[in-house]
Structure 1
Amino acid sequence: MPTYGYARVSTTDQDLTIQREALLGAGCEVIREEKVSGTSRQGREELATLLEFLREGDTLVVTRLDRLARSLDDLSGIVRELEAKGVALKATEQPVDTGSAAGKAFFQMLGVFAEFETNLRRERQMEGIAKAKAAGVYKGRRASIDVDEVKRLRDEESLGATQISRKLGIARTSVYRVLERF
């Protein structure tokens, strides 16, 4: 019954050492690591590899449930996949046991708090952006589409949206969005 570890941090400048040491201490034979946001499963190749590889009787160990997922939906989906395969889930810093009613309830509460924390962080970020915009510091991303060129190609060269998108290397829907304004 092999034990596998999964460690994750959200940004490339964060360190995985503490998680790695905890997982080694928990007896993990293989540890998969990645530096990517946990707000969705998209782009999490190491997690996908683990979920595909795990077999009945294996154990997946994380330090905390928020390392596995930041939303209750993702967390529940991952746990359902693990249960369907007969894989146990353990957390070194939390008493997680998805095999008992109390353990499942505790697991769901932790998932709710992880999602709550993500939502709070997003709210603080949006407040910071609003404050920066009010101060004239934050102006958003620079436009990647030359609106005047789209207009010129339509008016002077009588090109359609598909031809304009090919010529400028942009999505046709982007051309439509620009042309809607004129």
Structure 2
Amino acid sequence: MIIGYARVSSSSQSLEVQHQHLEVAGCEKVFAEKRSGRTTEGRDALADAIDFVREGDVLAVTRLDRLARSVVDLHRLIERLTVKGCGFRVLQQSGIDTTTSTGKLTLSILGAVAEFEADIRRDRQRDGIERAKAKGIYRGRRPTIDIARIETLIAAGMTPAAIARDMGIGRASVYRLMGKAGAA
């Protein structure tokens, strides 16, 4: 049985094209989710797909980056499939098919290249942010917590736990802001 897995990073993206490719490839069941691929943590549909496959099944994705973006995560997932006696296939990168020796080699090489590309992209983004900060263009994310309100509530004698409950934020955020105010 061929089992499909589809993933997009944000809720504004569509899974439709991946579903179509997976159906054409003969997937009898498709697990899909809208979740970041930076890690396998919290990707429930992926966990369900891996739990679902049985010996002799093949897990298929349209592109390698739909499954994993790090070589470590990729190899962990492939190892889990291998232990279960399952194969892995990437539809749009036809050389990747772990049911063959050449496919296993191709998977390792392309996994390393994908991780390298992600690292380069992250470095370029970090460099761009640093240049923007130096020019005074980038100031970071706008604060989401009303610091003045926290200071008022502290002055009124509320405990950090009560403030956190009242504002719907974590207690650690209140303590962190109290520490900054105390240091200033």
What SS class does the counterpart of residue 144 from structure 1 fall into? coil
Query: Identical aligned pairs, as a percentage?
Result: 44
Residues 148 and 20 of structure 1, relative CA distance in 2, 3 Å threshold: closer
Q: Work out the CA distance in 1 between the residues paired with 2:9 and 2:161.
A: 38
Counterpart in 1 of 2:111? 111
Is the 1:150–1:164 Cα contact (8 Å) retained in structure 2? yes
Compute the displacement of 1:23 (Å): 2.7
Q: Work out the CA distance in 1 between the residues paired with 2:103 and 2:173.
A: 49
Question: TM-score scaled to structure 2, two decimals?
Answer: 0.80
Residues 165 and 77 of structure 1, relative CA distance in 2, 3 Å threshold: same
Deviates more, 1:5-14 or 1:118-127: 5-14
Compute the displacement of 1:105 (Å): 3.5
Is the 2:8–2:34 Cα contact (8 Å) retained in structure 1? yes
Counterpart in 2 of 1:144? 144
Deviates more, 1:132-141 or 1:57-66: 132-141
Equivalenced residues, count: 180
Counterpart in 1 of 2:9? 10
Compute the displacement of 1:16 (Å): 4.4
Question: TM-score scaled to structure 1, two decimals?
Answer: 0.81
Q: Work out the CA distance in 1 between the residues paired with 2:148 and 2:37.
A: 39
Is the 2:95–2:102 Cα contact (8 Å) retained in structure 1? no
Residues 148 and 19 of structure 1, relative CA distance in 2, 3 Å threshold: closer
The gaps in structure 2 that reach 5 residues or longer are none
The gaps in structure 1 that reach 5 residues or longer are none
Compute the displacement of 1:15 (Å): 4.8
